[in-house]
Amino acid sequence: MNRAHNANEAETCVKRSQDAGFENLSIDLIYGYPLLTNKKWQHNIATAIELKTPHLSAYSLTVEPRTALANAIEKGKQLGVDDEQSASQFLTLNNQLESVGFEHYEISNYSLPGCYAVHNTNYWRGIPYLGIGPSAHGFDGVNRYLNIANNAKYLAALGNKNLAETIEELSKVDQFNEYIMTALRTQWGVDLTKITSDFGENYTKHTYSAAEEFITNGKLIAHHNKLMLSKEGKLFADGISSALFAENE
């Protein structure tokens, strides 16, 4: 994958950070790489557990265009990504981490109890955030903005308090679909009571109607007026979210 570091360097970096007194650490893992056998993957997970970091993010390999890996696959020098392998390794990860007390609180994120990523969890829960500085993104609950990227132009704009280069106002449908997309990825799921309160009864009826198929086939769990992905459903999170989206008010 043309990484600038190797596994030993990554492990040493974590241990040196811990020796320096940093305890609230997170590490990233990648699975679904064609040369990553199930045995190697299980070893990687075991190593992550042994490092005793309270948080872990894991991502299925995505081959981006115009990268060294994409080029190698196109030329037949590397095998392509196997969806079945990725799914199998995802389920292995879930089982091994949950067996030692990790919560699978978001599709790509795991933590020991109470050690959720505060910053990213705010994104997933739709909490407004302030973007400060050139190129920074911000969100006020309705509008999403991108600050001016050029340093000199940003400084010049400070005087008239007009720092945003672009402002995107999210429609009610946009806000609803974004809530579905982010909330469904988390262990807290989609709250139908919140949908009624924030968007109206018609959105709640739409959501439950669209969800019935997935509740019946076991990919969604309906519990206490919430919809959550089952273990199998987590493999189809994007598709299920898309099926629950609203097209108009």
- Structural domains of the chain in order of their starting residue, each with its CATH number: 7-116 (3.30.750), 123-170 (no CATH), 173-244 (1.10.10.920)
Cα atoms found within 13 Å of the Cα of residue 93, Cβ hemisphere only: 30
Q: What is the pLDDT of residues 37-96, one digit of tens each?
A: 999 999 999 999 999 999 999 999 988 888 887 888 888 888 888 899 999 999 999 999
Q: Is 126 helix (H, G, I), strand (E, B) or coil?
A: coil
Specify the pTM: 0.87
pLDDT of amino acid 201: 96
Q: Is 57 helix (H, G, I), strand (E, B) or coil?
A: strand
Would strands 26-31 and 55-60 be described as parallel, antiparallel, or unpaired?
A: parallel
How far apart are alpha carbons 122 and 129 in whole angstroms? 8
Mean pLDDT value across the chain: 93
Structure tokens at 139: 């969100």
pLDDT of amino acid 1: 65
Amino acid at 75: K
pLDDT of amino acid 54: 97
Average pLDDT of span 111-116: 94
Instruction: Out of 38-47, 125-134, 209-218, pick the least confident.
Output: 125-134
pLDDT of amino acid 126: 86
- Rg of the Cα atoms in the chain: 21
pLDDT of amino acid 78: 82
How far apart are alpha carbons 183 and 200 in whole angstroms? 17
Q: Please, which residues have CB within 8 angstroms of residue 215's CB and are 6 or more apart in sequence? A: 221, 222, 227
Q: Do 230 and 237 touch, CB atoms closer than 8 A? A: no
Q: What is the pLDDT of residues 7-42, one digit of tens each?
A: 899 999 999 999 999 999 999 999 998 889 999 999
Give, as one character, the DSSP assignment of residue 129: B
CA distances from 108 to 121, 150, 166, 172, 245 (A): 12, 33, 29, 27, 21
pLDDT of amino acid 66: 82
pLDDT of amino acid 125: 86
